[in-house]
A and B are shown apart, each in its own frame.
Chain A
Amino acid sequence: MQSIDQQIRVLVAKPGLDGHDRGAKVIASALRDAGFEVIYTGLHQSPEMIVNAAIQEDVHVVAMSILSGAHMTLFPKVRELLDGAGANHILLTGGGIIPVEDIEDLESRGIGRLFGPGTPTTEVIDYIQDWFEDQETS
Chain B
Amino acid sequence: MTGPLESALAELLERFHDGQPVALGRAISLVENERPGFQDFLHEVLRVGPRAARIGFTGPPGAGKSSLLSMVATNCRTQDEQLGVVAVDPTSSYSGGALLGDRIRMSDLATDPGIFIRSMATRGSLGGLATTTKEVLDLMDAFGFDRVLIETVGVGQTELEITAAADTVIVVLVPESGDAIQTMKAGLMEIADIFVVNKADRPGADRLVKDLRQGLHLRAATAIESAPAHHGLDLARIMRKESCEEPRGPGWSPPVLSTVAQSGEGVEDLMDTIKAHRFWLEESGELEERRRGRRKVRIQDVVDRELRRTAWRSDTVLAELDQGLERIQKRKDTPYSVAWDILDRLLR
A and B, one complex?
A: yes
B204 at interface by CB-CB < 8 Å: no
A87 at interface by CB-CB < 8 Å: yes
Task: List B contacts of A46 (CB < 8 A).
Answer: 111
Task: List B contacts of A113 (CB < 8 A).
Answer: none
Task: List A contacts of B29 (CB < 8 A).
Answer: 58
Binds B, one of A48-56, A70-78, A94-102, A104-112: A48-56
B110:A36 contact, CB within 8 angstroms:
no
The complex places the Cα of A39 from the Cα of B123 at a distance, in Å, of: 15
A56:B33 contact, CB within 8 angstroms:
no
Task: List A contacts of B92 (CB < 8 A).
Answer: 32-33
Interface size on A, residues (CB 8 A): 33
B interface majority secondary structure:
mixed
Contact for B100 among A1, A39, A49, CB less than 8 A: A39
A124 at interface by CB-CB < 8 Å: no
B103:A53 contact, CB within 8 angstroms:
yes
Restricting to B17-37, which residues have a CB under 8 Å from any CB of A?
20-22, 24-26, 28-29, 33-35
A29:B22 contact, CB within 8 angstroms:
no
Shortest CB-to-CB span from A17 to chain B, Å, is 14
The complex places the Cα of A130 from the Cα of B99 at a distance, in Å, of: 21
The complex places the Cα of A41 from the Cα of B28 at a distance, in Å, of: 20
B116 at interface by CB-CB < 8 Å: yes
A4:B33 contact, CB within 8 angstroms:
yes
Restricting to A1-39, which residues have a CB under 8 Å from any CB of B?
1-2, 4-5, 7, 28-29, 31-39
Restricting to B88-123, which residues have a CB under 8 Å from any CB of A?
91-92, 94-101, 103-104, 107, 110-111, 116-119, 121, 123
Task: List A contacts of B95 (CB < 8 A).
Answer: 1, 32-35
B35:A5 contact, CB within 8 angstroms:
yes
A57 at interface by CB-CB < 8 Å: yes
Task: List A contacts of B35 (CB < 8 A).
Answer: 5
Shortest CB-to-CB span from A126 to chain B, Å, is 15
The complex places the Cα of A85 from the Cα of B107 at a distance, in Å, of: 20
A56:B117 contact, CB within 8 angstroms:
yes
The interface of chain A, by Cβ under 8 A from chain B, is 1-2, 4-5, 7, 28-29, 31-42, 44-46, 48-49, 52-53, 55-58, 85-87
The interface of chain B, by Cβ under 8 A from chain A, is 20-22, 24-26, 28-29, 33-35, 91-92, 94-101, 103-104, 107, 110-111, 116-119, 121, 123
| Additional pairs, 4, CB under 8 Å, beyond known A35-B95, A55-B21, A85-B22 | A32-B99, A37-B91, A37-B97, A37-B98
- What are 26 contact pairs spanning A and B, CB under 8 A? A2-B96, A7-B33, A28-B99, A31-B97, A32-B95, A32-B98, A32-B99, A34-B95, A35-B97, A37-B97, A38-B98, A39-B119, A40-B101, A40-B103, A42-B101, A42-B103, A42-B104, A42-B107, A45-B110, A46-B111, A48-B111, A49-B111, A52-B111, A56-B21, A56-B117, A85-B22
